[in-house]
Structure 1
Amino acid sequence: MAMRRRKLLQQASLATLSALGLPALWRQAKAKNTTAAIKELQRRLGTRLIRPKLPWANLLAKTPVPVELKNPWALSSQAGGTQSTGMVGAWTAQASHNAVRVGSKADVATAVDVARLHNLRLVIKGMGGDYFGRSSGPPNSLLIWTHDLNAITTHQSFTPEGAPASQPPVTALTVSAGNAWLHAYQAATAAGLYVQGGGCTTVGACGGFSQGGGFGSYSKRFGSGAAGVLQMEVVTADGQLRTVNAFQEPDLCWALKGGGGGTYGVVVSQTLLAHPIPRLDGWISGWIEASDDGALEELLTNYLELVQKSLINPNWGEGVVIEPGQRRLQMMTSFIDLEANEAEAIWTPLLKQLKSKPHAFDVQVHFHAVPFENKWRPQADAVHWDRRDGAPSGQFWWKGNQNEVGAYWGGYQGRGVPMSALEGESLHRLAKAFVSASRTSFLLFQTSKGLAGISPEAESRQRQTSMNPAVLNDAGYVTLANWTQYRYPGISGHQPNPRESLKQQQDVDRAMAFIRAATPGGSSYVNEGNFFEPNWKQEFWGPNYERLLGIKRRYDPTNLFRVHHGVGSDT
């Protein structure tokens, strides 16, 4: 009876507050709070406080999309720019009303202090490549834009701060929050070194990539992006700049190595383990086309058998693509430190078998290898050069990544493929699932996004990250996606078609149902999972989530840093 009375009193109180117009008063108070915060930022940062806008905000209805909106470097050079424009039912690219164009670590600390004191929503953006909108809006947020932090330092002998005297030094590379992976690779190559990052040249080298885990073409040799991090400088919710590593604040360091970007603080620099530069960079080009669905299933069965027997090791990475409704297996496989003829010999039994059935298979496959130091000086036919006035010399992006620029996503999901899915009858079920899924969705399978077969040295480092440990049992990773390109929500004449986008989403959902059924025990990861994943804590982090949540509460008790499906985002 007493509980019922209290409930009635609460309802009456809420009704009274509403009648008095207090929700409007709360909004007014919030606006005053924001105004006070902006005045404080103007006083302390001056011209570093800017007003971002979407790069496509002034696009007219009957005008073609300009070349600048098709250039990922141009998009990343604008505070309001993002590589994607949104996802149906999930998020839409928006420009924060105010942004701090960071010029120093102190600027980051100032922005965090003011946001905490005035209860402002924070957004962090380096290159703006997040698929799920974590580096975009909402409009009433304060954006911390790290683009101008671009120093890179090579270390021939690096020891983390606070390490014991017995700790052996290593070669390393320190990157800043405004660097892209291309910049890191070019600097490492000049020093005869290699760092493990992402395959896309425009992805940030010191942001959500490694904080979310991050995979590259050679992760089976060198580990994930997170596994290569030795030390970070991070501004936490209390405004402090902390240097964290395995010896100083090791819990926070562990959380930042896979616990998700935009969740524990603003990482302003990180130092990466650098390896001796590999000898050869190799890749397979071309395709294998099947005549019908039955032949495609046979092709995929034989390909997955090759993966299981010969490609789950440190020499191989990347994988294959099937466009929606097609029966062509497009080659995008990479290999490292193998001559082209050595790589071809591994594939020859499969290719010979397929070529013996010309009525069923068209085989157009080619093997290439070049000195590794030439990887970041590619042939012109493989890349688009950044030809803007003032663009740094040698800045490019791969032609294979062009179709993601300006993408409005109907659906985007990913799923790890455990080794058990490549055994016996399970392999045949997986091949059937690939066929079924690719009827309605773009399908990408990459062996380098699963860490089964990883080198022992890299495995040791990988186990020191906070990523879902299930990744160590994954042979690879399946990405399913449908999208339209150069569609801009809210821009007349250039808006996405809602019905088309919704159908794309439904088609990806349908396709993923086939993949999930064929991959029991599989998982996902925070950077490329499913925006709508209901079981995201288990999928992204598995047994590590509770420890990650405890660290989150210790360093960010008010949840100042929060992103969609980030640790603690539901509390």
Structure 2
Amino acid sequence: MKSNFGSVLALWGLSLCHLGTSQTILNNDNSTVQVNQSIVAPALESVDQRSSNSTADLFNSETLQLTDYVLANLTDLQLTNITLFAFDNATADNVTSGGLSKRTFFPRCKTYPGDFLWPSRYLWKLFDVLLGGALIETVPYAAACYDDFGKFNQQQCGFLTDNWTNGSLYHAQDPTSVNAVLFQGQSCLPPRLLPNTTATRHCTVGGYPSYAVKVSNVAQVQLAVNLARNLNLRLVIKNTGHDFGAKSTGYGALSLWTHNLKDVQFFESYRESGYHGPAFKLGAGVQAFELYEAAHKYGVTAVGGEGRTVGVMGGYILGGGHSPLSSMYGMAADQILSMEVVTADGRFVTASKSSHPDLFWALCGGGGSTYGVVTSIVVKAFPKIKVTTLTYVLSTGGPGNITASQFWAALRAYFDGFVDYADKGNYGYFRVTSTGPGQFMSDMGPWFAPGMSKAELQALVAPLFSRWKQIGVEVNPTYTEFNDYYDAWYASFPVEPWGSTTIRQASRLFPRSNWQSETKLNATFDSIRSVVEDGAYIIAFNIAAAPKTGYPDNSINPAWRNVAMHAIAATLWDPTMPEASIKAASDKLTFDWMKRWRDVSPGAGAYMSESDYIEPDFRQAFFGDKYAKLYRLKKRYDPWSVFYAQNAVGSEDWKMSEMILGNLPSQNSKLCRA
């Protein structure tokens, strides 16, 4: 940043008012400059569609960029403080030696409302003008249920209350709503979802960002990144807000809402970095259902998650991204060929194996909200395939009067085949829970067999069902054969739940080595059984992520390459319980149940995007031996710490100022250097 302390402070005297199609800028010295709005706003330049470093043309939204030419023109118009929106050409070395670390007007914490450097209302207005009117001051999603924001609407409140936990499609359409409301601070929930003991019910912004930019072009991202960096504002990125770990929210933050970057382009024959075949270029806002609809339209198959509303081109793919197709094709991040990125200095670059290869390596699995803001990604596509699915319910009691011992024996027999099933490209998505004292249920929903016919899947599972019959267990399996992946996926995975305040989750990646001996497998199975008997709700995946065709060198957690099962444990509580009881349930998940799982899988890991919010030693669990390199690259590409997310690379350098339940960092508090 080339401005000094005086020029930063000068902006506090700047004001702006509308005069028709012109803007009058009142500078701090009381001089005025009247300019045509079309010159000032939006602050962007249209550049050539052909990227110099990628074989995929830029989307139209990506050709609209903030450039040095634009900034120079704004400076010539006597907007002398426009340097707050300028690029920074510092490197990690000069930032450390004489830059950011010695700018004493940047305090230990990020800049927050009420702080000396917090933008005035006039600066926010100028920012909005430069953005082209894309700045949104946060009104919480549930504000319709209250009078606090002047938005009370009983009918709207009833709708969002009824659809709060099953309406992820609706939440994704809001600039700041997120799934992880527990960590956000629960500052604006529909009244019916609040504990009965809550005496005062109000709606506040709380841990939601103060402002959001409705991103429709690259220039807007650059302006926001530059402003956040130059004023030390907290910056967050939200596509859908689906993340379990509150990575898309934060008190006093400026948010980049990338949800509307929905461009999709299909290439029948795409060449890049040794790859030649079908591919998609997809905007950062594309969700799973949109990716799969496009693949269906063009007669191909694409790798994405099972959740319909997950933003597949956002944090999902940047964090690795497991898929119903992973046992066959690998992780979602394995399919990335190139991506367009705004880095922490505000510059727009193409990252691929041949352009910024270190940045490309880090982004392919190293996590979102860490190295830059991705605006689009080019991914591989595969030929159309058939899929057969299998569903069944295994439970105690019922017509067969199945005992608990028979239930667990049958489930143990299923575990025996995990390595074989995954090696054949299968994906088993199953749940295990207690339904009462000594009563248990496991539903397969579904056993997903890409590339297999019904007859082939029946032959694969016949030995298992034969063993179950010997145990005295019979189920009524349902097989369905589909001609296309899209149809199988759509029929198998409903819209996922959202926004519960009475749940915490954690996960573990169980390695194939646990299946190499009866002793290890027994210990693994017993660790699953014991937490279910103790009250945990389990969602598990029989999955592999190391296809026979190989996988690229990238930053995906190495634990994925040896996995046979990814399991999620959830603890739930009644919101009317005393806080001490809720804390006990929360702590039991991390320090008891998950310790059992870690003890039987030493040195393995966990899936960052579906993990414990306070995972012990998250660096090893989420990144393994790749963390050291990822941290070095974090310091190289973001020496200013513009980007922060809970449990992301470099997050150990920061801490929240307040806790929930004593040990859960509250996003409704200040982010400060550790």
TM-score, normalisation: structure 2: 0.70
Do 1:234 and 1:266's aligned partners in 2 also have CA atoms closer than 8 Å? yes
Q: How far does the alpha carbon of each residue in 1:452-506 deviate from its partner, in whole angstroms, 9 at most, with x for none?
A: xx3222x332xx1102222211112111112469x8xxxxxxx897456434424
Q: Are the structure 2 counterparts of residues 207 and 314 from structure 1 closer, same or farther at C-alpha, using a change threshold of 3 Å? A: farther
Cα distance in 1, alignment partners of residues 145 and 332 from structure 2: 37
2:468 is equivalent to residue 354 of structure 1: yes
Q: CA contact under 8 A between 2:184 and 2:249: conserved in structure 1?
A: no
The Cα of 1:42 is off from its aligned counterpart by: 2.0
For residue 418 of structure 2, the aligned residue among 303, 307, 326 is 307
Post-superposition CA distance 1:413-457 (Å, at most 9, x none) = 111111121122111122222211112111122122x42xx3222
Q: CA deviation at 1:292?
A: 4.0
1:318 and 2:428 aligned: yes
1:231 aligned partner: 338
In 2, the alpha carbon distance for the partners of 1:112 and 1:514 equals 42
Q: Which residue of 2 aligns with 1:468?
A: 557
Question: In the aligned structure 1, how far is the partner of 2:406 from the partner of 2:184?
Answer: 34
| Cα separation, 2, equivalents of 1:78 and 1:89 | 18
- Confirm whether residue 550 of structure 1 aligns to residue 628 of structure 2: no
Q: 1:126 aligned to 2:239?
A: yes
**Backbone CA RMSD of aligned residues:** 2.8
Residue 438 of structure 1 is matched in structure 2 by 532
Segment of structure 1 superposing worse, 330-339 or 229-238: 330-339
Matched, 1:268 2:375: yes
Q: Which residue of structure 2 aligns with residue 393 of structure 1?
A: none
What 5-or-longer segments of structure 2 have no aligned partner?
A: 1-107, 148-153, 189-205, 397-401, 654-674
Confirm whether residue 505 of structure 1 aligns to residue 617 of structure 2.
no
Q: 1:145 matched to which residue of 2?
A: 257
Q: Paired residue for 1:371? A: 483
Aligned match of 1:525: 607
Structure 1 distance, partners of 2:113, 2:449, is 57
Identity of matched residues, %: 25
1:374 Cα deviation from its structure 2 partner: 5.0
The answer for the alignment partner of 1:427 in structure 2 is 521
Question: SS where residue 30 of structure 1 aligns?
Answer: coil
Q: Distance in 1 between matches of 2:112 and 2:207?
A: 24
Mapped to 1, the partners of 2:161 and 2:547 lie a distance apart of 45
Residue deviations 1:21-58, cap 9 Å, x none?
x99x9975435446565243123124201112221233
Matched-pair contact (CA < 8 Å) for 1:416–1:522: yes
CA contact (8 A) 2:293 2:486 kept: no
SS of the residue aligned with 2:279?
Answer: strand
Q: Distance in 1 between matches of 2:416 and 2:485?
A: 32
Query: Structure 2: how far apart are the matches of 1:372 and 1:543?
Result: 38
- Report if the CA contact (8 A) 2:184-2:246 is conserved: no
CA 430–497 in structure 1, closer or farther in 2 if over 3 Å, else same:
same
SS of the residue aligned with 1:169?
Answer: strand
Which one of the candidate residues 511, 534, 539 is aligned to 1:418? 511
1:38 aligns with 2:124: yes
- Larger Rg computed on CA atoms: 2
- What secondary structure is seen at the aligned counterpart in 2 of 1:527? helix
The separation in 2 between residues aligned to 1:304 and 1:120, in whole angstroms, is 49
3-state secondary structure, aligned to 1:321: strand
Amino acid at match of 1:155: F
538-547 vs 284-293, which moves further: 284-293
- 288-297 vs 127-136, which deviates more? 288-297
> Within the alignment, does 1:408 sit opposite 2:504 as a pair?
no
SS of structure 2 residue aligned to 1:96: coil
For residues 565 and 211 of structure 1, the distance between their equivalents in structure 2, rounded to whole angstroms, comes to: 14
Residue 128 of structure 1 and its aligned partner are, at CA, apart by 0.9
Alpha carbons of 1:26 and 1:353: their partners in 2 closer, same or farther (altered >3 Å)? closer
Distance in 2, Cα, partners of 1:334 & 1:537: 32
Where structure 1 has 5 or more consecutive residues not aligned to the other structure, the ranges are 1-21, 383-397, 488-494
Q: Whole-Å Cα distance in 1 between the matches of residues 579 and 120 of structure 2?
A: 34
| Per-residue CA distance 1:292-325 (angstroms, 9 max, x = gap) | 44333312321111223x3121420133210245
Q: Following TM superposition, by how much is the alpha carbon of 1:366 offset from its aligned partner in structure 2, in angstroms?
A: 2.1
Aligned to 1:331: 444
- DSSP-derived class of the 1:368 partner: strand
- What is the CA deviation profile of residues 160-184 of structure 1, one whole-angstrom value per residue up to 9, with x for unaligned ones? 4xx5xxx453211011111101111
Distance change in 2, residues 1:142/1:115 (3 Å) = same
Match of 1:72 among 154, 168, 191: 168
**SS of structure 2 residue aligned to 1:349:** helix
1:90-120: CA deviations, max 9, x gaps? 9998321111111111111111111111211
Distance 1:112 1:26 in 2: 16
1:87–1:411 CA contact under 8 A, matched in 2: no
Map of 1:285 onto structure 2: 391
Deviates more, 1:174-183 or 1:348-357: 348-357
